[in-house]
Structure formats: structure tokens, C-alpha cells
Amino acid sequence: VYGTEIFPTGAVPIELRPVVRGLIGEDAETLVHLFGTVSRAGIFDAAFEGAPFLLETRTGGQVGITDQQYTDLAVLTVANWLEQRPRFPESSRNSRAREFRTMRQFLPTTPRQALDEAYRFTPLTQPAT
């Protein structure tokens, strides 16, 4: 909605955050805003660093997020990539495998299984919480 690193022009100007929040609720709008403002590298780096989660923003700042917000951002990141992945050249479809492999521990079952299938990862022995 507000744009991302790759698509910096959003569909809705940032000034309309209160309107979006009123439509989808505070938690969902916060997640949408985070997804648009944090760097993808920051999301991947946080998988290696673990909690407490401090993510880099696209403007060079940092934002602290909760464990649940990190899980939600990880799910969005995985869903976003898996949706785009078939349109990429075969040679690029396994990019970020190391990062996604590490991120799996923070994912709920369904997105983790989709990622495992796409990358042919060996399933985790312990389910994520």
C-alpha cells in the first residue's frame, strides 16, 4: 500500500495512514507500514540475529518490533517471494536460500511448508511456535 524497497511508489500516500488504519485496524496497518518501510536485508538479517528484533528501515534508521510482528513480516516476505518466484529466471529462483532457511524457524506451519517445498528444504523437526 505504501510502497516497498523495490516498488517505492505506493498506492496510498503515507499521510493517509489514519484512513488505512480505520479500514483494516491498527495491527494490520502497522504491519503494512513496517513491510513498506523496513529493508528486506533487515528482515533477513533479523532471522540470523533473533530477538529482540531491531530492523533497519529503508531510510537508514532502525525500528524495534515484537516477536509476533517479526513472524508476520517473515510470512509476508515469504508469501511475496513465492508469489513472484515463478516469473524469475530458473537461475534466480533459489536466491536467498540461506536467509530463507534460517527464517523458517520463525514461520507458522503453512508458510514454512510452502517454503520447504519451493526450496526443497528438509522439514524442521520442531514446529515453529
d(CA 105, CA 92): 23
Measured distance CA(81)–CA(100) in Å, rounded = 10
The whole model's pTM is what? 0.87
Q: What is the pLDDT of residues 1-57, one digit of tens each?
A: 888 877 778 889 989 999 999 999 999 999 999 999 999 999 999 999 999 999 999
* Mean pLDDT (whole number) for 91-101: 89
Residues 68-96 have a mean pLDDT of 91
3-state helix, strand, coil in the chain (%, to 5): 60, 10, 30
Q: What is the mean pLDDT of the chain?
A: 90
* Strand-pair partners of 78: none
Residue 17 CA to residue 75 CA, distance in Å, equals 22
Where on the phi/psi map is residue 128: left (φ > 0), alpha (ψ -120 to 50), or beta? beta
Q: Which of 113, 116, 33 is nearest to 73 (CA)?
A: 33
Looking at residue 74, its pLDDT comes to 97
d(CA 20, CA 12): 9
